[in-house]
């Protein structure tokens, strides 16, 4: 057997930072904050992830992508675990992630006061292109359940908003 540099949690994170979200391909699974734990035991790697929106079909794609990327990087045994507790929230998105999302043309989640949620008020979402808050909700559901469609009144650009959770 060829002796290779042993993997560390850091090197695994490094590899995982190349695994991109299929829906927002500028974000890695690290940016998304869905990697909860990385365990290494005698070359066997266990990755614990917390899915974002349970309704996102992309999660399976992401899991497969994590597995195949690790295998390609010379890890022979990959175990994926899923934990729902604590639940993923959009707060786990790093600031870099939110910045990248905005540059990609998706308005990152904004915090909505609880009272507003109770009244089912539509949040003011700033346009990712011109930053105007003169935007309109077009559809509660964008290309996936995680996103909503907005339209900017100022620059007439439609854009997607990643709904806060």
With respect to Zn ion, which residue has the nearer C-beta, 53 or 129? 129
3-state secondary structure of 147: strand
| In the complex, minimum distance from the CB of residue 161 to Zn ion, in angstroms, rounded to a whole number | 12
With respect to Zn ion, which residue has the nearer C-beta, 59 or 152? 152
| In the complex, minimum distance from the CB of residue 131 to Zn ion, in angstroms, rounded to a whole number | 7
From the CA atom positions of the chain, what is the Rg in Å? Answer: 18
Residues within the interface to Zn ion (CB under 5 A): 127, 129-130, 132, 152, 154-155
Phi/psi at 45 (5° precision): -110, 130
Using alpha carbons only, what angle is made at residue 66 by residues 60 and 32, rounded to the nearest 5 degrees? Answer: 80
| In the complex, minimum distance from the CB of residue 21 to Zn ion, in angstroms, rounded to a whole number | 24
With respect to Zn ion, which residue has the nearer C-beta, 116 or 130? 130
Pick from 72, 131, 115: nearest CA to 123: 115
DSSP letter (8 states) at residue 128: T
With respect to Zn ion, which residue has the nearer C-beta, 82 or 132? 132
**Are the CB atoms for 94 and 147 separated by under 8 Å?**
no
| In the complex, minimum distance from the CB of residue 119 to Zn ion, in angstroms, rounded to a whole number | 26
**Are the CB atoms for 68 and 129 separated by under 8 Å?**
no
DSSP H or E run through 106: strand 106-107
| In the complex, minimum distance from the CB of residue 79 to Zn ion, in angstroms, rounded to a whole number | 45
With respect to Zn ion, which residue has the nearer C-beta, 158 or 164? 158
């Amino acid at each position: 057997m060829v002796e290779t540099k042993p993997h560390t949690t850091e090197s695994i994170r490094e590899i995982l930072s190349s695994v991109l979200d299929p829906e927002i391909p500028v974000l890695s699974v690290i940016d998304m904050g869905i990697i909860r734990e990385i365990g290494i035991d005698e070359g066997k790697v266990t990755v614990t992830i917390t899915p974002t929106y349970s309704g996102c079909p992309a999660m399976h794609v992401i899991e497969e992508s994590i597995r195949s990327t690790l295998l390609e990087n010379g890890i022979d045994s990959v175990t994926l675990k899923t934990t729902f507790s604590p639940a993923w929230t959009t707060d786990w998105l790093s600031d870099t992630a939110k910045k990248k999302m905005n540059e990609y043309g998706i308005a990152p989640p904004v915090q909505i006061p609880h009272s507003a949620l109770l009244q089912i008020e539509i949040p003011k979402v700033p346009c990712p292109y011109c930053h105007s808050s003169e935007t309109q909700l077009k559809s509660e559901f964008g290309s996936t359940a995680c996103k909503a469609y907005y339209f900017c009144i100022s620059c007439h650009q439609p854009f997607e908003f990643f709904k806060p959770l």
